[in-house]
């Protein structure tokens, strides 16, 4: 049975999310993904639905780039996962100019590699 993984990302890093989703479609993939990309302005209804989806996942992967530090939505999703005690792992999309958000303080951050992704998912 595949693990359900929520992917948190800055909107500017949608390409990375799309790539990760492509990996999830591989027949040998150990995970399915949940997408709550914001398509409209933030609302309390969106946050309620997003929290419910995060709670229904086995883990959260936070894609990290130089854009993440200013991505309010992605940072809210990270805080939500931590509040709900859902395992979370940061994954570098790029390390150039990347600041790790305070939400991931004390959490493991890894380079984007299939072995690292699989290791996290296997730990769930």
Sign of the Cα torsion 96, 92, 22, 18 reads negative
- pLDDT one-digit tens code per residue, 21-40: 777 776 677 666 666 565 55
How far apart CA 55 and CA 83 sit, in angstroms, is 10
Q: pTM of the entire structure? A: 0.88
Q: Give me the pLDDT at residue 40, please.
A: 54
What are the structural domains of the chain?
3-123 (3.40.50.450)
Which residues of the chain have a pLDDT value below 50?
Answer: none
């Amino acid at each position: 049975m595949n693990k359900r993984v929520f992917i948190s990302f800055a909107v500017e890093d949608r390409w990375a999310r799309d790539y990760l989703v492509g990996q999830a479609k591989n027949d040998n993939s150990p995970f399915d993904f949940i997408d709550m990309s914001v398509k409209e302005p933030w609302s309390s209804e969106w946050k309620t639905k997003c929290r419910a989806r995060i709670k229904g996942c086995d883990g959260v992967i936070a894609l990290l780039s130089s854009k993440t530090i200013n991505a309010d939505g992605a940072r809210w999703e990270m805080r939500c996962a931590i509040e709900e005690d859902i395992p979370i792992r940061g994954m570098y999309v790029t390390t150039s100019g990347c600041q790790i958000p305070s939400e991931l303080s004390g959490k493991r951050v890894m380079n984007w590699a299939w072995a690292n992704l699989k290791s996290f998912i296997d730990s769930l």
